[in-house]
Amino acid sequence: MDVKTRLPELAQARYGLELSQCSDSQLYHCLLQLTQELASARPAPSGDRKLYYFSAEFLIGKLLSNNLLALGIYDEVNAILTECGRALSAIEDVEPEPSLGNGGLGRLAACFLDSIAALGLNGDGVGLNYHYGLFEQKFQHNKQTERPNPWIEDESWLIPTGVEFEVPFGFGPVKAKLFDIAVPGAHTATAGRLHLFDVEAPAPAPQEGIDFNKSDLPARLTSFLYPDDSNEAGRLLRVYQQYFMVSAGAQLVLKELEERGCALNTLSDHVVIQINDTHPSMVIPELVRLLTGRGLSMDEAVEQVSKTCAYTNHTILAEALEKWPLSFIEKAAPQLTPILRELDRRAKAAHTDPKVAVIQGEEGKEIVHMAHLDIHYSRSVNGVAALHTEILKNSELKPFYDIYPAKFNNKTNGVTLRRWLEVCNPQLASLLDECVGRGWRRDPDQLNKLMEFAGDSAVLDRMLAIKAEKKRELADVFAREQGITLDPESVFDIQVKRLHEYKRQQMNALYVIHKYLEIKGGKTPQRPVTVLFGAKAAPAYVMAKHIIHLILCLRKLIESDPQARPWLHVAMVENYNVTWAERVIPACDISEQISLASKEASGTGNMKFMANGAVTLGTLDGANVEIAELVGPDNIYTFGAKSDEVIRMYAGEGEKKGADGRSYLPLDHYHRPAVERLVDFLVSPELLGVGDPAALATLWRDMKNKDWFMAMLDVEDYIAARDRAIADYGDRTAWAKKMLVNTAKSGYFSSDRTIAQYDRDIWQLK
Ligand code: 26V
């Protein structure tokens, strides 16, 4: 199809207009149709074995630019639009961002789909079509409020397939309708699919907020991702959602298997199911149920399923490891109970250690440990960064590693450089083309060749100029969309990620307080700094919401202080999402990756920042460890306690032990003078004057007495490292060299590399 002819043709057919007469919205819809036509004309990749990537989240972001790039028509479309005086970026503003994910796990799934398609691997995603997403974040009175985030329009990327399955719930069957989103592969002529299941008659959005009647289940299963689980009805709804996803997904897998003419007892020869964290774990008993229902013996079914499934763990936070009361599953899908009991019986017969049981607890109060189910009945168990996998093997999942050493493997995460460099930073991408040739776009390792330019002042100046331009672009869009002024001359120091205490946005806030107090004490900073945050807090996570409140109060206090304002800015992106990430990440000077060591499984934002020439300020946690190894100590700022020390403190090893079992005693750290004044500022008259005294006092008490994620342990070291980074920023040439090394070494973190490793070690698709 010739784009030059087809695009004007579409404008005529749809609107009776020339391209140049179309509004941005009309152009968007022409491009949507064109892209859909091209993508759906592409066949699926060949291959006898097919991967199904099951995930509760796919944080895919806007698709127009990405798909144009994958289809190889990005430059051509851009040229056509420029010719009629239009910009792709303005047209893309019309596109709503799909709201199908929450954080790193969902964005990873989206990067993986992109890479699976690019490598021409025979693999699809399977998930749910949430109508109102996670939620849309609004700030009111310096607090987060939530409202539905509808994103589905009459014309969208969703393709109705006509495929339907019945999901048998305890209360009766619900029809699951399948919609697809095409995933065209870059560098191939094939396309994968994201399969999203939906209910037949979805309920309208709640009038106010995101609370809704949880009893109208058939209409509500696909309303929201992660509905409030602070009460039993909410938790039960999650089980219903998960079963809806995996039952329909498993039926799809078997339907396609049969269409290929393969016998059910050869499932594992033809199918691999990657279970993305534990949300899809019920696919294991569901498949056993379907296979035995269709004539396989229990032994055969269990063997096939165990050889078909593979599990990825994304967290070691105990509270995030899913355990469901058996009674919930009994209520939602009673037919799974006997299967789960049988799977538990088999595991207990083979392994007597009660720590590895699938079902734990006494009769009537039994709970199902989803990760345990996955590990016993999968052929592979992987962590998402080298350190994370080691922690799984040596502490968190040690009893399982002792039983199944060969199942455990590491797959360090990666990100698609197509979206996270080519699309979001075309300026840097073309500089890279000039320096190392275009080969890096297919083979990201070639970015290493950029190292040859580390002493080339012309290239270093170009890197700085591009960064300055991206900062100005960000300042413009901030002013336009959020009415906030940013100073592009200042250092952009950025922390964007889900709000969680382990990620320690509160420690970043303590640094802001430190700077503010210095300025008020008459010490002028080295240079102006903008501290930028972006984060959504889970609606029921009270402490996380208090931390957002603290950040917004600090912003207000500092903005209204003429002494501080020239030197320090605090800003927070409202409703941080993929679209904002694409604007924020290229504009970053200092990338904040400051989780408590051992707690961040990998991180993937860290990789995107690195590729875009930001310098990491981080703890030796998750993939930061691998970043540090690659760039070397001169090109990263690391600080803080190491993971093994932290693990020992949680285990209570050491001289003193507190009431909570840890050998970390918060008050000992609080009473260091440099720390105490920062923490006490939370309840200072200045801050109480702008904020909610109860929220700030709760935060203060929690940090002082509990500090579960040990912000006070690392804060002094953090302040020193951060001040050093900001000082070093002043030597522009030396800094540009750090930027260059970071970009040059980022090829390793391409998700194409990660996916090639999954395929080599786990999937074997070709
Ligand atoms: C767990 C739960 C528990 C119940 C409440 C809702 C909810 C939502 C999500 C999760 C799973 C969180 C796991 C997750 O997102 N892990 C992140 O995965 C990234 C990709 O591997 C990794 O880079 C991050 O370090 C890790 O935090």
Distance CA 46, CA 37 (A): 21
Give the residue, by CA position, lying nearest to ligand 1 atom 8.
226
- Mean pLDDT (whole number) for 60-65: 98
- Mean pLDDT (whole number) for 413-422: 98
What is the set of active-site residues?
314, 497-498, 503, 604, 608
Number of Cβ within 10 Å of residue 25's Cβ equals 12
pLDDT for residue 214 is more than 90: no
Q: Going by C-beta distance under 8 Å and a sequence separation of 6 or more, which residues neighbour residue 760?
A: none
Please report the pLDDT score of residue 11 as a whole number: 97
Compute the distance from residue 603 Cα to the ligand 1 centre, in Å.
Answer: 10
Give the residue, by CA position, lying nearest to ligand 1 atom 15.
105
As to burial, measured by CB atoms within 10 angstroms (0-12 exposed, 13-18 middle, 19+ buried), residue 632 is: exposed
Roughly how many angstroms between the first and final C-alpha of the chain, as a whole number? Answer: 29
pLDDT for residue 766 is more than 80: no
Please report the pLDDT score of residue 123 as a whole number: 98
pLDDT for residue 213 is more than 90: no
Give residue 162's pLDDT band: very low, low, confident or very high (50, 70, 90).
very high
Give residue 215's pLDDT band: very low, low, confident or very high (50, 70, 90).
confident
Give residue 660's pLDDT band: very low, low, confident or very high (50, 70, 90).
very high
Number of Cβ within 10 Å of residue 23's Cβ equals 13
- Mean pLDDT (whole number) for 21-49: 97
Nearest atom of ligand 1 to the alpha carbon of 319: 3
Compute the distance from residue 140 Cα to the ligand 1 centre, in Å.
Answer: 27
CB 666 within 8 A of CB 705: yes
CA distances to 54, 265, 357, 377 from 288, rounded to whole Å, are 16, 11, 19, 11
Mean pLDDT of the chain: 97
- Mean pLDDT (whole number) for 677-694: 98
- Mean pLDDT (whole number) for 387-396: 97
For β-strands 323-325 and 309-312, DSSP reports them as unpaired
By 3-state DSSP, what share of the chain in percent is helix, strand and coil, each rounded to 5? Answer: 50, 15, 35
Please report the pLDDT score of residue 27 as a whole number: 98
Q: Is 661 left (phi over 0), alpha (psi -120 to 50) or beta?
A: left
Give residue 702's pLDDT band: very low, low, confident or very high (50, 70, 90).
very high
Nearest atom of ligand 1 to the alpha carbon of 413: 21
Compute the distance from residue 199 Cα to the ligand 1 centre, in Å.
Answer: 25
For the stretch 488-511, pLDDT in tens is 999 999 999 999 999 999 999 999
Nearest atom of ligand 1 to the alpha carbon of 604: 23
- Mean pLDDT (whole number) for 539-552: 97
Gyration radius of the chain over CA positions: 26
Please report the pLDDT score of residue 666 as a whole number: 97
- Mean pLDDT (whole number) for 720-746: 98
What are the start-end ranges of the E strands in 535-685? 568-573, 590-593, 615-618, 637-638
Structure tokens at 18: 């020339």
pLDDT for residue 204 is more than 80: yes
Residue 131 CB-half CA count within 13 A: 17
Give residue 212's pLDDT band: very low, low, confident or very high (50, 70, 90).
confident
pLDDT for residue 648 is more than 80: yes
Per-residue 3-state assignment (H helix, E strand, C coil) for 329-369: HHHHCCCHHHHHHHHHHHHHHHCCCHHHCCEECCCCCCEEE
DSSP 750: B
Compute the distance from residue 551 Cα to the ligand 1 centre, in Å.
Answer: 23
Distance CA 157, CA 152 (A): 9
Nearest atom of ligand 1 to the alpha carbon of 388: 25
DSSP 560: T
Compute the distance from residue 559 Cα to the ligand 1 centre, in Å.
Answer: 34
Please report the pLDDT score of residue 216 as a whole number: 87
CB-based pocket (< 6 A), ligand 1: 102-105, 108, 226, 277, 314-315, 320, 384, 413, 600-604, 622
Please report the pLDDT score of residue 65 as a whole number: 96
Give residue 320's pLDDT band: very low, low, confident or very high (50, 70, 90).
confident
For the stretch 250-280, pLDDT in tens is 999 999 999 999 999 999 999 999 999 999 9
CB 38 within 8 A of CB 157: no
